Amino acid sequence: MAFSFETTYKELDSKLYSRVTPKRIPNPDILVRNDELRADLGLDAAGLNATILAGQELLEEPIAQAYAGHQYGRFTILGDGRAMILGEHIYEGDRYDIQLKGAGRTPYSRSGDGNATVSSMLREYLYSYAMQKLNSKTSRSLAVIETDEAVTRRRTEPGAVLVRVMNSHIRYGTFQYVANKASDELQRFTDYVIDRHYPALHEKNRTYVEFFDAVMQSSIEMVVDWLRVGFIHGVMNTDNMSIDGETFDYGPCAFMNYYDEETVFSSIDKHGRYAFGNQRPILQWNLERFAEALQPLCTQSALTYDELEGKLDEFEERFDAQYYTMMRKKLGINSDGEEELIEECLEWLRKSNADYTNTFLELETPGTVDDPAFATAAFEQLRNKLAAVGLNEELMQEANPRYIPRNYLVEEALEEYLEAGDLSKFKELLAVLENPYASKSTDSQFQQPPPREFDAKYTTYCNT
């Protein structure tokens, strides 16, 4: 079948979105299409030609959503400046937003052109694919469509449109927008979100408190999963925080190679606000802003702000519990406790600056990785301590990927397409990442971190 749209978001107050039309694309060309995702959505290949995917044949009128957000700590009114939702696709009782990125200007574009470069859309396709295969809850990319136009950012490239799929694109910043611009609609909007994402909460006595609690829990699980695989989102503004814990907006993101909690690759994160080790405190800060956005409910319903603050007070303990559970699995520890030993392992990583991904592979199976950092007495001593309580292979193999999207390999793949129109390296990366927990014959190439000089200079960009 083709898309089966039933867009309930249009039933909300019209202040929350704008009706839009995708730009005209004379000769759209499908560069990559995710046929696994296509099947998951119950879609036929024949019904997903380039014109349908690029929004040139509309099944209903698309919308661009309004939202707000704290961007690097500053509150701003925002909206989908280069994105629009084609519709909410229904399959086997589940609902999915089908969104186009790079589909042209919207009322929220401000000075932007609404376009996207082919390299940035291929990057998002690859990173969202990798995160899904790494067993992290994430947006997914259905296709990248190249256009005839030239788009200039840091360089001039072909334009492209990404077809992104999410449970929904509702974010912390959507609540901030409603609270700021349509506070009389906040209770109705919150009920809509609960119906869509957390319907079981209607059976609870304190529905809105439980809603905040559920959002906080799903967000904790999301960020702990980032820390598990060494992912740095790079732009954790409140408008990029999903209400149901889906990682999305793969702009200046990257994966950490050499362990350093201050690792930052984003060109716009000048002060390290969203560094690898800051993702936990920033999540807490963002949740505080989300709680503030819910504050009008305290006068519209039985909710009290003290109840929201009570939930926020639980953040540290709950994050710690989730984090240490995750780290015990990475270290193969099949019991509670051992926090001191986990901290000792982290301290070794801080001092050694060893490759994060490969450290756990070497702990599991000595001799897996050729790295001088693992041929030291300190590492051997750490491994002996861990062996006494952990290093359970089954646990470690489930928690520790053999492969991540190494930044330099991603750049090589994108450059090959821009320079030669060749997607061979890109598709090779996708093939390796299809099962990142299983070793392949290409181990050494794809497990190898970049030269340290590369990481020291490597910079990622939003390309908006």
Which pair of structure tokens corresponds to residue 421? 């129109």
**Residue 5 has what DSSP assignment?**
B
pLDDT band at 202 (very low <50, low <70, confident <90, very high): confident
Residue showing tokens 């077809």:
163
Q: pLDDT tens digits for 119-170?
A: 999 999 999 999 999 999 999 999 999 999 999 998 999 999 999 999 999 9
Q: Looking at beta carbons, which pairs linking 433-438 to residues 24 or more positions away fall under 8 Å?
A: 433/126, 433/129, 433/130, 433/133, 433/403, 433/405, 434/133, 435/133, 436/130, 436/133, 436/134, 436/401, 436/402, 436/403, 436/404, 437/397, 437/398, 437/400, 437/401, 437/402, 438/402
Q: pLDDT tens digits for 204-229?
A: 889 999 999 999 999 999 999 999 99
pLDDT band at 47 (very low <50, low <70, confident <90, very high): confident
> Residues 100, 54: contact at Cβ < 8 Å?
yes
> Can you tell me the distance from the alpha carbon of 396 to that of 180, in angstroms, rounded to the nearest whole number?
46
Reference 167, options 248, 229, 104, 101; nearest CA is 248
pLDDT band at 301 (very low <50, low <70, confident <90, very high): confident
pLDDT exceeds cutoff 70 at 58: yes
> Can you tell me the distance from the alpha carbon of 122 to that of 256, in angstroms, rounded to the nearest whole number?
20
- What's the one-letter identity of residue 284? Q
- Outline where 256-355 has alpha helix (H): 279-293, 297-300, 305-313, 315-330, 339-352
Reference 65, options 141, 111, 7, 115; nearest CA is 7
Q: Given this model, what pLDDT does residue 158 score?
A: 96
Q: Given this model, what pLDDT does residue 300 score?
A: 76
Of the listed ranges 256-270, 339-353, 442-456, the one predicted with least confidence = 442-456
pLDDT exceeds cutoff 80 at 464: no
pLDDT exceeds cutoff 80 at 61: yes
**Other Cβ atoms within 10 Å of 27 Cβ, number:** 10
Which pair of structure tokens corresponds to residue 31? 């560069």
**Cα separations (Å) of 171 from 114, 303, 349, 357?**
20, 21, 34, 30
Segment 421-425 mean pLDDT: 98
Which pair of structure tokens corresponds to residue 25? 């694309």
- Dihedral sign for Cα 346, 348, 351, 352, please: negative
Is there a catalytic annotation at residue 370?
A: no
Reference 13, options 193, 185, 192; nearest CA is 185
pLDDT band at 439 (very low <50, low <70, confident <90, very high): confident
pLDDT band at 440 (very low <50, low <70, confident <90, very high): low
Q: Given this model, what pLDDT does residue 368 score?
A: 86
pLDDT exceeds cutoff 70 at 443: no
Show the beta-strand stretches assigned E in 44-195.
Answer: 63-71, 74-79, 83-91, 94-101, 140-152, 156-166
Show the beta-strand stretches assigned E in 153-289.
Answer: 156-166, 231-232, 254-255
pLDDT exceeds cutoff 60 at 442: no
Q: pLDDT tens digits for 257-278?
A: 999 999 999 999 999 999 999 9
- Angle, to 10 degrees, between the axis of helix 305-313 and the axis of helix 315-330? 30
Marked catalytic residue, from 239, 244, 269, 455: 239
Segment 73-102 mean pLDDT: 97
Mean pLDDT of the residues in the chain: 95
By 3-state DSSP, what share of the chain in percent is helix, strand and coil, each rounded to 5? 45, 15, 35
| H/E element, 122 | helix 118-133
> Can you tell me the distance from the alpha carbon of 75 to that of 68, in angstroms, rounded to the nearest whole number?
7
Segment 423-427 mean pLDDT: 98
Residue 97 Ramachandran class (φ > 0 left, ψ -120 to 50 alpha, else beta): beta
pLDDT band at 462 (very low <50, low <70, confident <90, very high): confident
Q: Given this model, what pLDDT does residue 452 score?
A: 93
